[in-house]
Amino acid sequence: MSHEYWLRSFEDRYGEGSYERLIAFFDQPCVTFAEIASQFGVTRERVRQWHVELRPGAPRGHARQKLCVAHRNKRKLLEDPLFRTFYRHARPHLDAGRITLIRTRDGFTRRLVRLEGSTVALKHARRQPADTGGKPAYTLINSQRAVDYIYYRLDDDDYLLIPKAALPADRTTFLDTPASKYQRFRKSFTALKIAQLDL
CATH number of the domain that residue 193 is part of: 3.40.1350.10
- Looking at the structure, do residues 42 and 104 belong to the same domain, yes or no? no
- Looking at the structure, do residues 163 and 113 belong to the same domain, yes or no? yes
Q: Domain residues for 30? A: 3-63
- Looking at the structure, do residues 116 and 18 belong to the same domain, yes or no? no
Contacts 24+ apart (CB under 8 A), 3-8: 6/53
pLDDT in tens, 36-62: 999 999 999 999 999 998 988 888 888
- Looking at the structure, do residues 101 and 182 belong to the same domain, yes or no? yes
Mean pLDDT of 166-178: 93
- Looking at the structure, do residues 106 and 188 belong to the same domain, yes or no? yes
- Looking at the structure, do residues 101 and 24 belong to the same domain, yes or no? no
How many domains, the chain? 2
- Looking at the structure, do residues 160 and 91 belong to the same domain, yes or no? yes
Q: Looking at the domain assignment, is residue 69 inside a domain?
A: no
Mean pLDDT of 180-196: 80
pLDDT in tens, 100-136: 899 888 889 999 999 878 999 999 999 988 655 678 8
pLDDT higher than 60, residue 197: no
* % of the chain residues with pLDDT over 70: 93
Q: Residue 94 and residue 90: Cα distance in Å, rounded?
A: 6
- Looking at the structure, do residues 103 and 184 belong to the same domain, yes or no? yes
Backbone φ, ψ for residue 42 (5° rounding): -130, 180
Work out the mean pLDDT of the chain and round it to a whole number: 88
pLDDT at 93: 83
